[in-house]
Structure 1
Amino acid sequence: MQEIHSFNEWQSLLNSSKQFLLFVKTDHCSVCEGLYPQVAALGESYAFPFYRVNAAEVPELAGQLGLFTAPVVLLFHQQREMARFARIVPMNDLTRRMDDLEEWGKAEDE
């Protein structure tokens, strides 16, 4: 999972990537630390990239996305947020939405 360190990096990623997953964490968040390995492990099963950002280090991003808690898992397609999971992330629901996202990407490529 690649790390985002600045708001400019975020803007560049959003404008240049067709689809991706964004994992948002913050400092001293035990839920974030517990969820991260589960989400990161899914990266091997999907063709789109996964990114991670610490909202405490890039507060502009948290403000832009309207994030008020952590962790948050966001799925993006064509510069638009397609799914948001905050705090408690049901892995079955997340993987179902990730499957949908991957199918959308394949359909556009055909």
Structure 2
Amino acid sequence: MNKHLELKSIKEVRAFIQENNFALLYIWSDQCSVCHALYPKLFESVKDYQKIKLGKVNYQVVSEIAGEFLVFSVPTIILFKEGKEYLREGRFMRVQEFNKQLKHLNFMM
């Protein structure tokens, strides 16, 4: 089962992306009810993809995330493939569409 890693600095975020071929960032905020509702669905979507590593970043703790990755709202998910942005979803993520994209990506793995 895939677990998430709580990333607490921009340095940790950069290292996480570099060290994992498939790195998924979940950028969220404590005061965001959508963030709290979406995360379990996202976790469920990626749990069977062992190659996708999930990193959870609190926007309020790592405020530099906004400038470095152009994050304007939360929740935002960014999937990196070999260090390059492959997929981005923000605020109102369509979980079924995301699952289809994961299945397509699974063929490439």
Same fold (TM over 0.5): yes
Read off the aligned partner of 1:45 and give its amino acid letter.
Answer: D
Give the alignment's TM-score, normalised by structure 2.
0.89
CA contact (8 A) 1:55 1:61 kept: yes
| Greater helix proportion | 1
Give the alignment's TM-score, normalised by structure 1.
0.88
CA contact (8 A) 2:34 2:75 kept: yes
Once the two structures are superposed, the pairs formed by residues 57-76 of structure 1 within 5 Å of their partners are 57-76=61-80
Whole-angstrom distance in 1 between the partners of 2:74 and 2:65 = 13
Read off the aligned partner of 1:41 and give its amino acid letter.
Answer: E
Q: Which runs of 5+ in 1 are unaligned?
A: 106-110
Q: Which runs of 5+ in 2 are unaligned?
A: none
Root-mean-square deviation (CA), in Å?
1.2
Hey, what does 2:49 align to over in structure 1? 46
Whole-angstrom distance in 2 between the partners of 1:96 and 1:80 = 20
- Secondary structure of the residue that 1:45 maps to in structure 2? coil
Aligned residues: 105
Identity fraction in percent: 27
